[in-house]
């Protein structure tokens, strides 16, 4: 090679590497270096590398218009340390990234140099694509057999220089670029080339690309299925169904319709000696007698005829891959990150990713919703994921879902005219996901939904400062408390559903009161029962725009004390609001408490106190033990003038959670005395410990 040719080649490589750097900077980092892009375009044009010059100018225009989806697809390009960017093979160029993280296409398992003549001799006696017996990728080879027969144009492979580039469908993109280098190919135990057998070198390239993505180039695969692998090759929507009694009729109908590709998977045990257990087969045609004709990926020379009895007794799965271009006119995609903390902390859909589909057309429309988990080799292959419609009662949902462990889930919904449905996604692992929406009408729109449109929600925990046990505890009112308001123009009652969720099996309860029910004697609907892990109150009558308080309690304190409170209403044009509040001391800044006891010879206790400044007082007197109904009265007088500032002549029952005097106005600088009296003989209730609690905006000094 001449020196000028070498320098030209080096120049081209440098240009492509600079283009890739700027691509990543623009789409991945969100930084548009316009000067560098313009310089690259000029430099490429000057050296007559017109393709790079054109792409650099296009990048200059596109870089400033990067949306969330595009950036997400670029940021999720890395799988197992290698980058697979969302770039069409037509604009890939001969060179990818260099240095660390380069998408070089080198295999993890090293081997000898490619021997085309040897490979041709190996494949000479094999009529079709055939699986290599030392590579456990029957699902991929079955997929290739099907795709070559029914959708060959969907395969995207291009030979550029010394490498091949392939577009595969994964991680939310239909054009993940995989660069394959066939310079070195591992050998099998017999010294032969370790690759599937085919008369098309592109099939070998596709297998190598598949191994790079699925397992970093290693041949030690953990298993897959034909639905997943056909999607990876073509983007055809995967659907997995169990073989049922109507399987033969369904398969023959669909094969004749030509809308999908079909493969079959055998059960863990098979009765037919011609079939292999836990193995995928390509379904290639229907015999004139009505039976299915399948091909074993391990033996390209033999077709197997499958009658209905053989199908039902030996096969477990039907793998359908639907052609979206024939079935639908529109495809929308939304990407998101699923994190199990907090999304799986509580058995509710509220913390999960939520989505809305709007049908603005004049007729009912069908939408297929396809959930795709992004590749992550650290994930458990058996992890469950799903997408489902949000139920009418968003509160009545658990975290035990019947989903798919394949990393995909397909939901088919029908949406009536001018209507909207809401969906939620669930996953057992933290992972990136893409949600695909396929539909015919252009009047279908999809977007992420907000929690506020469904329900009011707050998270909190019981700790040493706010755990005060069950309703029977005199200090129950000190448990976490939340203000509830339903904003509405309605003049009638609205009905609210409340749900309290715990992260453990603790027994839970909630009570709701008017905000000014300081003694907690008039609950809206009283229920003293406690239920394990979840407590639900439905159809509570609420006055619109009135203030209520919800007290959340746990019967026992556990190691996991976090909880979630949810509130929702079915009333139209009403909005539920929840917020943390602290009414225990009247929401005042200063909080003072003193224990006291009754004297044997008298029914009264005097507690002198002074006020630093004029302030409102929130006074509570309570018995710390319950020994029967106690009747008390409270009066307050000025020590200097003997003026009675709070006058009560009658005794009243001391409520379980204390008798409260709210908003008592005290003037600063005065010396006052709180007189607490009980009814009955002096010796009655002498052993009951008592407490005085005072909340105020300025400091209160207790004397004596």
Considering its fold, how many domains does the chain have in total? Answer: 5
Whether the pLDDT of residue 644 is over 80: the answer is yes
* The pLDDT value given to residue 381: 63
Given pLDDT bands bounded at 50, 70 and 90, which one contains residue 395?
Answer: low
Domain range spanning residue 444?
328-452
Weakest-pLDDT range from 201-210, 293-302, 422-431, 452-461: 452-461
282 plus 369 within the same structural domain = no
528 plus 595 within the same structural domain = no
Better-scored residue on pLDDT, 590 or 104: 590
* The pLDDT value given to residue 394: 65
Q: Is residue 155 part of a domain?
A: no
Burial pattern 38-53, b for ≥16 Cβ within 10 A else e, equals eebbebbeeeebeebb
Whether the pLDDT of residue 139 is over 80: the answer is yes
CA 391 to chain centre: 17
pLDDT in tens, 212-233: 999 888 888 877 899 999 999 9
693 plus 602 within the same structural domain = yes
* The pLDDT value given to residue 404: 87
Q: Is residue 227 part of a domain?
A: no
Rounded alpha-carbon distances, angstroms, from residue 331 to 322, 359, 361, 368, 421 = 13, 15, 17, 10, 18
- The mean pLDDT value for 653-675 works out to 94
Weakest-pLDDT range from 102-106, 400-404, 644-648: 102-106
pLDDT in tens, 159-196: 987 789 999 999 999 999 999 988 877 888 888 889 99
Q: What angle do CA 327, 152, 119 make, to 5 degrees?
A: 155
* The pLDDT value given to residue 249: 95
C-alpha span between 15 and 53 (Å, rounded): 9
* The pLDDT value given to residue 63: 63
CATH of the domain at 641: 2.60.120.820
419 plus 466 within the same structural domain = no
Average pLDDT, the chain: 90
Q: Is residue 30 part of a domain?
A: yes
Task: Give the strand pairing for 419-427 and 385-389.
Answer: antiparallel
Given pLDDT bands bounded at 50, 70 and 90, which one contains residue 97?
Answer: low
Nearest to 678 by CA among 669, 670, 688: 688
567 plus 654 within the same structural domain = no
Domain endpoint, select from 421, 437, 452: 452
pLDDT in tens, 239-252: 999 999 999 999 99
Whether the pLDDT of residue 2 is over 60: the answer is no
413 plus 306 within the same structural domain = no
Burial pattern 346-381, b for ≥16 Cβ within 10 A else e, equals bbbbbbbbbbbbebebeeebbbbbbbbbbbbeebee
Q: For the chain, what is the radius of gyration of the CA atoms? A: 36
496 plus 539 within the same structural domain = yes
DSSP summary character for residue 519: T
Whether the pLDDT of residue 277 is over 90: the answer is yes
Q: Is residue 564 part of a domain?
A: yes
Given pLDDT bands bounded at 50, 70 and 90, which one contains residue 380?
Answer: low
Domain endpoint, select from 66, 86, 110: 66
* The pLDDT value given to residue 111: 55
* The pLDDT value given to residue 105: 47
Given pLDDT bands bounded at 50, 70 and 90, which one contains residue 399?
Answer: low
Q: Is residue 675 part of a domain?
A: yes
Given pLDDT bands bounded at 50, 70 and 90, which one contains residue 136?
Answer: very high
Whether the pLDDT of residue 367 is over 80: the answer is yes
Q: Is residue 660 part of a domain?
A: yes
* The pLDDT value given to residue 220: 84
- The mean pLDDT value for 455-465 works out to 92
Would you say how long the chain is, in residues?
704
- The mean pLDDT value for 430-443 works out to 97
Q: What is the pTM of this model?
A: 0.87
Whether the pLDDT of residue 290 is over 60: the answer is yes
- The answer to whether the CB of 87 falls within 8 A of the CB of 16 is no
Given pLDDT bands bounded at 50, 70 and 90, which one contains residue 113?
Answer: low
pLDDT in tens, 17-60: 999 999 988 888 888 888 998 999 999 999 888 899 899 888 88
CATH of the domain at 259: 3.90.70.10
Given pLDDT bands bounded at 50, 70 and 90, which one contains residue 348?
Answer: confident
552 plus 472 within the same structural domain = yes
Better-scored residue on pLDDT, 11 or 280: 280
Domain endpoint, select from 581, 616, 635: 581
C-alpha span between 289 and 292 (Å, rounded): 9
**What percent of the chain is predicted at pLDDT more than 90?**
68
Weakest-pLDDT range from 102-111, 247-256, 357-366, 447-456: 102-111
- The answer to whether the CB of 640 falls within 8 A of the CB of 686 is no
Nearest to 164 by CA among 228, 118, 106, 219: 106
Q: Is 372 helix (H, G, I), strand (E, B) or coil?
A: strand
527 plus 604 within the same structural domain = no
* The pLDDT value given to residue 101: 36
559 plus 518 within the same structural domain = yes
Weakest-pLDDT range from 47-51, 64-68, 78-82, 577-581: 64-68
* The pLDDT value given to residue 444: 97
Residue 606 C-beta-side C-alpha neighbours within 13 Å: 9
Q: Is residue 110 part of a domain?
A: no
463 plus 447 within the same structural domain = no
Better-scored residue on pLDDT, 144 or 570: 144
pLDDT in tens, 674-699: 999 999 888 889 889 999 999 999 99
* The pLDDT value given to residue 221: 82
355 plus 425 within the same structural domain = yes
Weakest-pLDDT range from 172-181, 184-193, 287-296, 443-452: 184-193
CATH of the domain at 522: 2.60.120.380
Better-scored residue on pLDDT, 109 or 546: 546
Q: Is residue 524 part of a domain?
A: yes
Nearest to 432 by CA among 332, 334, 336: 336
């Amino acid at each position: 090679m001449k020196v000028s040719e070498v320098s030209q080649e080096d120049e081209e490589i440098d240009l492509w590497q600079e283009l890739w750097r700027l691509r990543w900077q623009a789409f991945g980092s969100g930084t548009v270096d316009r000067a560098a892009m313009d310089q690259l375009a000029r430099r490429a044009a000057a050296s007559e590398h017109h393709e790079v010059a054109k792409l650099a100018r296009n990048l200059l225009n596109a870089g400033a218009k990067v949306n969330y989806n595009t950036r997400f697809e670029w940021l999720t390009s890395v799988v197992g340390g290698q980058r697979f960017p969302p770039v069409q093979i037509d604009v890939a160029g001969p060179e990818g990234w260099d240095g660390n993280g380069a998408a070089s296409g080198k295999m993890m398992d090293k081997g000898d140099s490619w021997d085309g003549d040897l490979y041709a001799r190996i494949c000479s006696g094999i009529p079709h694509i055939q699986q290599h017996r030392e590579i456990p990728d029957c699902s991929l080879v079955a997929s290739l057999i099907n795709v070559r027969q029914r959708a060959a144009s969907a395969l995207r492979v291009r030979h550029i220089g010394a490498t091949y580039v392939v577009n595969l469908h994964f991680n939310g993109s239909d054009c993940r670029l995989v660069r394959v280098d066939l310079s070195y190919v591992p050998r099998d135990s017999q010294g032969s080339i370790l690759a599937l057998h085919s008369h098309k070198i592109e099939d070998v390239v596709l297998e190598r690309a598949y191994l790079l993505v699925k397992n970093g180039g290693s041949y030690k695969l953990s298993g897959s299925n034909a639905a997943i692998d056909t999607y990876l090759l073509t983007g055809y929507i995967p659907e997995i169904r169990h073989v049922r009694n109507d399987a033969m009729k369904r398969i023959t109908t669909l094969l004749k319709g030509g809308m999908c590709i079909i493969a079959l998977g055998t059960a863990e045990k098979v009765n037919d000696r011609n079939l292999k257990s836990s193995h995928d087969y390509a379904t290639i045609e229907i015999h004139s007698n009505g039976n299915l004709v399948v091909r074993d990926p391990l033996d390209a020379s033999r077709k197997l005829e499958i009658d209905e009895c053989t199908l039902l007794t030996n096969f477990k799965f039907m793998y359908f891959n639907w052609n979206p271009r024939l079935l639908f006119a529109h495809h929308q995609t939304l990407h998101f990150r699923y994190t199990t903390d907090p999304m799986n902390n509580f058995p509710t859909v509220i913390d999960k990713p939520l989505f809305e589909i709007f049908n603005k057309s004049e007729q009912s429309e069908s939408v297929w919703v396809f959930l795709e988990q992004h590749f992550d080799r650290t994930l458990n292959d058996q992890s469950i994921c799903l997408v489902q419609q949000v139920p009418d009662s968003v509160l009545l949902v658990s975290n035990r879902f019947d989903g798919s462990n394949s990393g995909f889930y397909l939901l088919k919904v029908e949406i009536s005219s001018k209507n909207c449905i809401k969906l939620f996604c669930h996953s057992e692992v933290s992972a990136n996901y893409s949600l695909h929406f396929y539909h015919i009408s252009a009047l279908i729109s999809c977007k992420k939904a907000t929690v506020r449109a469904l329900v009011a929600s707050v998270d909190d925990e019981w700790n040493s400062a706010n755990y005060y046990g069950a309703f029977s505890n005199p200090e129950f009112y000190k448990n976490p408390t939340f203000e509830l308001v339903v904003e509405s123009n309605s003049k009638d009652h609205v009905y609210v559903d409340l749900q309290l969720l715990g992260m453990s099996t603790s027994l839970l309860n909630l009570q709701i009161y008017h905000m000014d029910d300081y003694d907690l004697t008039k609950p809206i609907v009283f229920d003293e029962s406690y239920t394990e892990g979840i407590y639900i109150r439905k159809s509570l009558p609420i006055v619109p725009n009135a203030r209520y308080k919800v007290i959340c309690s746990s019967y026992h304190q556990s190691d996991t004390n976090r909880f979630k409170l949810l509130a929702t209403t079915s009333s139209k044009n009403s909005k539920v609001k929840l917020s943390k509040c602290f009414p225990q001391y009247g929401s005042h800044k200063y909080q003072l408490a003193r224990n006291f006891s009754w004297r044997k010879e008298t029914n009264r206790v005097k507690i002198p106190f002074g006020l630093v400044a004029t302030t409102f007082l929130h006074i509570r007197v309570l018995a710390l033990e319950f020994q029967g109904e106690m009747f008390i009265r409270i009066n307050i007088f000025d020590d200097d003038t003997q003026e009675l500032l709070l006058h009560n002549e009658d005794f009243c029952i001391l409520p379980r959670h204390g008798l409260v005097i709210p908003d008592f106005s005290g003037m600063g600088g005065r010396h006052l005395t709180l007189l607490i009296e009980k009814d009955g003989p002096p010796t009655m209730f002498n052993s009951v410990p008592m407490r005085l609690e005072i909340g105020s905006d300025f400091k209160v000094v207790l004397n004596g």
